[in-house]
Structure 1
Amino acid sequence: MGADNMLRNDTMSKKVRNLLLALLVLLPTVALSGPSGQALAFTCAGCHGTDGSSVGPSSPSIAAMDPDVFIDAMQAYKRDQRNSTIMNRIAKGYSDEQIKAMAWFFAKQELRLYTQETDQQLVSLGEKLHNSYCEKCHEEGGRPGDSGTLAGQWMPYLDYSMQDFIDGRRPYPRKMKRKVDAAIEEQGEQAMPALIHYYGSQH
């Protein structure tokens, strides 16, 4: 019995030792992985809402956003290439890997939209302008895609963003300036309010 007990104890000791060695090998990997995208996203909830669906009119919803759009925006903020109130400072606090983790987390979240008060005449005009100048890039009325999310975004946020483009505080992507100029040439001062009311009406 004594020999059997010693053999059992020796076998148990080897198993415990091997388990401890395996844990020691894994610990550096766990430590290096850092916080998850979900954990990092908690810091965004104050402005962009829980899981990226904003409840405040000055901040955009970022749920269901294309990961590349999120990453490009954050990198632009980090490089001071995009106008903002505080996002430039916030973006500088994240590593590239952390930004990617957040991008993929938000991409998987369901976008929840809220009803906004719109002017039906402007909505109708905005729909025509969208179909003529914007639909090619912002498909399905501006639904989430690789050109960002317009449909259902808060109208005050869209207004601030468009003013940044028009006033030169934010660089236009791709062919957007030519399309915006054409819409303004067609409808004058009504063009931007019409587009904003149209996107604000979409759900």
Structure 2
Amino acid sequence: MKSHKTIHRSLRNLLVAMLAVLPAAVSAGPSGQAMSFTCAGCHGTDGSSVGPSMPAIAGMDPEVFVDAMKAYREDERNASIMNRIAKAYSDEQLKEMGWFFASQRLRLFPQPYDPVLAEQGARLHDEYCEKCHEKGGRPGDAGTLAGQWMPYLHYSMEDFLDGKRKWPRKMKRKVDAAIEEAGDKAIPALVNYYGSQQ
């Protein structure tokens, strides 16, 4: 049977060991997956949104995710609540979340679209958008367009056109050229094309 002194020494050593490990555990913080749970209500548990006004973020390039979150945090991107949510995270936490969502498989959901407009949108995409949004807008370093919910795409384009969202490099020139070619049908055509991609 262990003496009282031996038990006391063992407990003291255990406490010292725990105190030595505690700072590392605390500084590690929650994982990207754990932090992603706050996004699940709008963007789905794995980043594949089931709500038509919310973008899917599964498979998103982590730098695109971080840039978007920083823009929300700095109130440089039009948002309903994302600017408040983004302010809660450090740069390192945003990177962790970005890598988590990048590792998730994007699940797309069928949605109704106009096939005539989608065909016109495919031609406009090939002419004006494919260079940055490769493979028909599949996930890449310019974001994900293919299969995104059409209402979300429509609202996003409205924000760009109304000056509520900063244009990425070269995008305004390309969009203006598409509108010059197809008029008022350019944006609906592109939205229907991307919405048709499953």
Asked whether 1:89 is paired with 2:75, we answer no
**What is the percentage of aligned positions where both structures have the same residue?**
67
Asked whether 1:150 is paired with 2:149, we answer no
Match of 2:100 in 1: 105
Provide the rounded CA distance (Å) in 2 between the counterparts of 1:26 and 1:179.
54
Count of aligned residue pairs for this structure pair: 196
Q: CA deviation at 1:96?
A: 1.5
Match of 1:56 in 2: 51
Provide the rounded CA distance (Å) in 1 between the counterparts of 2:194 and 2:149.
9
Provide the rounded CA distance (Å) in 2 between the counterparts of 1:175 and 1:18.
62
Match of 1:167 in 2: 162
Alignment equivalent of 2:188, drawn from 183, 189, 193: 193
| Deviations 1:110-135, CA, capped at 9 Å, x for gaps | 11000011111111100000000000
Q: Which residue identity is paired with 1:117? A: P
Provide the rounded CA distance (Å) in 1 between the counterparts of 2:69 and 2:42.
15
Asked whether 1:71 is paired with 2:70, we answer no
Alignment equivalent of 1:132, drawn from 118, 127, 130: 127
Provide the rounded CA distance (Å) in 2 between the counterparts of 1:202 and 1:16.
62
Asked whether 1:114 is paired with 2:99, we answer no
Structure 2: segments with no counterpart, 5+ residues: none
Q: Which residue identity is paired with 1:95? A: S
Structure 1: segments with no counterpart, 5+ residues: none
Match of 1:184 in 2: 179
Provide the rounded CA distance (Å) in 2 between the counterparts of 1:37 and 1:96.
12
Q: Normalising by structure 2, report the TM-score.
A: 0.92
Provide the rounded CA distance (Å) in 1 between the counterparts of 2:46 and 2:39.
8
Asked whether 1:29 is paired with 2:24, we answer yes
| Deviations 1:61-107, CA, capped at 9 Å, x for gaps | 00110000000000000110000111111111112121111111111
Provide the rounded CA distance (Å) in 2 between the counterparts of 1:177 and 1:41.
32
Q: Quick check: 151-160 or 81-90, which moved more?
A: 81-90
SS at match of 1:61: coil
**Which structure would you say has the larger Rg?**
1
